[in-house]
Structure 1
Amino acid sequence: MGNAMAGRILLVDDVATNRIVMKVKLASAFYDVLQADSAPEAERLALDVRPDLIILDAVLRPHGGADLCHKLKSNPHTRDIPIIVVTSLHDRQTRLAALDAGADEFLTKPLDELSLLARVRSLLRARATSEELRRRQHTARELGFAEQPAPFTVPGRVAIITAETDEAIRWREQVRKHLRDRVDVIPAAQVLEALNSMKTPPDAFVISTNLAEAGSGLRLLAELRSREQTRHSAILIVHEPRDRNSAIMALDLGANDLLARGFDPEELALRLRGQMRRKQEGDRLRTNVEDGFRLAVTDPLTGLYNRRYAMPHLGKIAERARAQSRSYAVMLVDLDRFKFVNDTYGHAAGDRVLVEVAKRLKDNLRSIDLVARVGGEEFLIALPDTDLYEATVTAERLRRIIQQDAITLCKGQPGLTITASIGVAMGGLDATSSDKVEAVMNDADRALYDAKAEGRNQVSMGRTAA
């Protein structure tokens, strides 16, 4: 299998030369690029194809890019697609109009290729997480365990962190005029201590790249992303205008947005408003999914999803893969000689093994991956947007992780080493009936049988992965 496309992007510009230049930049990074030369064509493609990202020109005729952006963000079928508006204009009105219309980013030509690709990667990561949350919510709603989320109404909390307190206070006073959210200043030296004492962390952070020393803002960004309590907070980084490297690094470390120092306070407010809306919507989706069907569709022992949830959700992963011409991987993981564990050490020990293996699987997969317990000692894993090489590497890594550390059964007693056999199958490689979920599952099951027959504790690839 060749290079997997990194995402599908729709370019909208009525000047063919602009589209060609932009397509070359994006295609070199293996993005699948579609083009539209008018607003009506862009609306049609956005509805029919559902691209992962839209890049449109601000001076698109006849009504401008902001008008198209507003239409797409007002349509429930396209409002979740991130939009970048680009322009050669440098006026404040065009910039604010695009952000007010719902644009996720506004870039000025000439576009720096590395900076553009960093922005694209950042938005596509956020899009993938949001889409996965929506798929899980949709699955839950079909099963009757989730309600529609309530509209966004609750004011949030913003924390401003800079090296100079006077500067932070000035930013706070400027942005307060445009936001209804609470805005606090946290001294840079006290951020982590303050977070430890907070019951609820801020919804959004505004952080200067240079706090006590050069680059310390980026280190704080990485720390916030690694912490459970702030992992989903929106983070906006303020960088020096000429510091391109810090800007690119910030996006790749997980910043949601960027602004150059000397920014327009109203632009900061508009960007924060959009980030707060997306962050709290994500919070609602997570809560809705977790609360709605925790008991009904999760395994009470391991906390993983059960078969009742896994199979409909796998169907949705397959549907999206076919629609987007992408591949996905399915793994069946079966613990070796598990009956011996139960017979020798008792069922309580067996339960401890299952809980620990479930934790190792979940801790070593992406948030968008599906992990479920579908049998006594059998686990199902589905990896969206994954090619054969990635699936093979992931399966081998999981096999090693299950085996590498002995599992403690009783305090003070030697641990027990557990191994697993894994069958891997690929789906989404063609749109024929043979690519249905049932066929992919059967292929993974045959591969698992082969792994067992060939001596256990190994990965075997199905026919679709051959």
Structure 2
Amino acid sequence: MAARILIVDDVATNRIVLKVRLASVCHDTVLAGDGRSALRLMRDSAPDLVLLDLNLPDMDGCDVLRSLRADPATRDLPVIVHTATTSAAARFAAFEAGADDVLTKPVDDHLLLARIRSLLRRREPTDTTTPPEFTLQEASTPFDWPGLIALTDFSKTAGPTLRTDLAALLPHQIALWDREMALAADLPDASAQPDAFLIDATGGNGSADHTASALRLLSELRAAPAHRHAGLALLAATPDAAAMAYDLGVDEAIVQGSTPAEIAHRLHGLIARGRAAASRRSALRDNIRLALTDPLTGLFNRRYALRRMGEMAVDSALRAASLAVMIVDIDRFKTVNDRHGHATGDAVLVEVSSRLRLQLGDADLLARIGGEEFLIALSRRTPAEAQALAQRLCAAISDRPVTVAGAGASVPVSISIGLAMARPGTLPDEAMESADRALRAAKTQGRNRVIMGSSAA
């Protein structure tokens, strides 16, 4: 995947070497030799990723990172720090300032390119996330409950030691899982699902067999439906193993020798990103639901109903069967609003919707298409069956009044129904027009009744 990458390094030779290396895999590059130029180019050239050296002539690389993370326009921009320092404190400071990864010079080519691919894949979904103005959800705190991290495939000595170290640094639960437990599909409940896995690929002194086994486990976890959204991290013995892990879909490949503080920081960030992604998925589901349903009654709205009717009409045509279409209207609903108020009118609409829904099957379509008007579409019903159901719907509404809690009102309500049988090949609009004519006839003939219209063809 070609991307625009900003290279920030005070040494011209380093910039040129990285430019050539990235050009060989079709990445476009932008170059900066100091921190201020880098911050300007981040805004002006809109890079997809930044390679940042910590040692710059005008400002510290961590200060560049903090400025970048403070700007909403660049806050989520992936940043790989590449530095000559091997100091654990300097690495951790870069992570705390907002680096996505820290690679030590000279950077292994395979690891660098694999990490770039990983971060670019991770960034792509954010381009389609829901803007805040289009969601009604309140923002939640990143860690309003502790997560669960499963240390997987560790030895009997290394696992407990790392668990003790991480437990002192993280607000999350740390558990030791073996391979069989990690791959089990029938965990007791959703709360037992880990938010993140850390797989050990360093056992046996990082032998090829152990590394291959850890990478297979990684692939299996990534493919397992139960862990589809869990964060995956690998403790790798070599840069090559880390590079392979990134290309297999790991979220974080942590090279052996990293401090417990760095491991904890990366796992903490992994869970934070997972929860942010879950929040986006939830917001998307809510927005889809709101786009398809009526907010008062919870029934489908007109937009969805017309599309669904089209699908039902196609299905009926393929089976050479008729489609029953009803237009339902609450009788004298304006009088209810005028006499009892709109709050009572809303309560009547909700109750009528509920009673209609109880009479219908899961495959039947029920939608609110107007103020007090509903659409019902029934497949696999004969005209006699459809008419009998329509009569039951009228009785379900008129048999008892609607009691409005807190208002002291008991409102008698009835409905009128126009019914049409749409023959195979009939367009939804034609079927609805035929049912609407039958509804008008029901209104003129005294209301609280069903009128069967002529078959729509």
After TM superposition, is the score higher than 0.5? Answer: yes
2:148 and 2:173 in contact (8 A); partners too: yes
Say whether 1:232 aligns with 2:229. yes
What is the distance in 2 between the residues matched to 1:189 and 1:231? 17
The corresponding residue for 2:152 is 161
What is the distance in 2 between the residues matched to 1:164 and 1:195? 24
1:104 and 1:274 in contact (8 A); partners too: no
Residue aligned with 1:262, SS: coil
Alignment length (residue pairs): 306
Q: CA deviation at 1:86?
A: 0.5
Residue aligned with 2:64, SS: helix
From 9, 14, 23, the equivalent of 1:18 is: 14
From 149, 168, 182, the equivalent of 1:191 is: 182
Superposition map of 1:413-424 within 5 A: none
Percent of aligned pairs with the same amino acid: 35
Q: CA separation of 1:176/1:346 partners in 2, compared to 1, >3 Å: closer, same or farther? A: farther
Q: CA separation of 1:348/1:85 partners in 2, compared to 1, >3 Å: closer, same or farther? A: farther
2:4 and 2:29 in contact (8 A); partners too: yes
Q: Tell me which moved more, 91-100 or 184-193.
A: 184-193
Superposition map of 1:435-454 within 5 A: none
Q: CA deviation at 1:106?
A: 0.2
Say whether 1:149 aligns with 2:139. yes
Say whether 1:207 aligns with 2:199. yes
What is the distance in 2 between the residues matched to 1:228 and 1:129? 20
Q: CA separation of 1:156/1:339 partners in 2, compared to 1, >3 Å: closer, same or farther? A: closer
Superposition map of 1:371-450 within 5 A: none
1:102 and 1:274 in contact (8 A); partners too: no
Q: Which runs of 4+ in 1 moved over 6 A?
A: 306-309, 337-340
Structure 1, unmatched stretches of 5+, are: 301-305, 310-336, 350-408, 411-466
Letter of the aligned partner of 1:190 in structure 2?
M
1:15 and 1:37 in contact (8 A); partners too: yes
Superposition map of 1:118-129 within 5 A: 118-129=114-125
Q: CA deviation at 1:93?
A: 1.6
The corresponding residue for 1:96 is 92
From 197, 201, 213, the equivalent of 1:216 is: 213
Q: CA deviation at 1:298?
A: 5.2
Residue aligned with 2:160, SS: helix
Superposition map of 1:165-314 within 5 A: 165-193=156-184, 196-200=187-191, 201-209=193-201, 214=210, 215-241=212-238, 244-290=239-285, 292-297=286-291
Residue aligned with 1:89, SS: coil
Residues 142-195 of structure 1, C-alpha deviation per residue, up to 9 Å, x if partnerless? 55x443532313232211112413211111111122111111111233322276
The corresponding residue for 1:462 is none
What is the distance in 1 between the residues matched to 2:194 and 2:321? 44
Q: CA separation of 1:195/1:182 partners in 2, compared to 1, >3 Å: closer, same or farther? A: farther
2:237 and 2:255 in contact (8 A); partners too: yes
Residue aligned with 2:184, SS: helix
From 63, 74, 77, the equivalent of 1:78 is: 74
Q: CA deviation at 1:342?
A: 3.9
Residue aligned with 2:276, SS: helix
What is the distance in 2 between the residues matched to 1:61 and 1:220? 45
Q: Report which of the two structures shows the higher radius of gyration computed on alpha carbons.
A: 2
Q: CA deviation at 1:341?
A: 5.6
What is the distance in 2 between the residues matched to 1:307 and 1:98? 53
From 307, 312, 317, the equivalent of 1:343 is: 317
Letter of the aligned partner of 2:214 in structure 1?
G
2:50 and 2:79 in contact (8 A); partners too: yes
From 32, 35, 49, the equivalent of 1:36 is: 32
1:211 and 1:217 in contact (8 A); partners too: no
What is the distance in 1 between the residues matched to 2:54 and 2:46? 21
* Higher RCO by CA contacts (8 Å cutoff, separation 6 or greater): 1
Residue aligned with 1:59, SS: coil
Q: TM (normalized to structure 1)? A: 0.60
Q: TM (normalized to structure 2)? A: 0.61
What is the distance in 2 between the residues matched to 1:114 and 1:348? 63
Structure 2, unmatched stretches of 5+, are: 295-300, 305-310, 324-378, 381-457
Q: CA separation of 1:189/1:89 partners in 2, compared to 1, >3 Å: closer, same or farther? A: same
Residue aligned with 2:187, SS: helix
Q: CA separation of 1:188/1:12 partners in 2, compared to 1, >3 Å: closer, same or farther? A: same
Letter of the aligned partner of 2:66 in structure 1?
H
The corresponding residue for 1:66 is 62
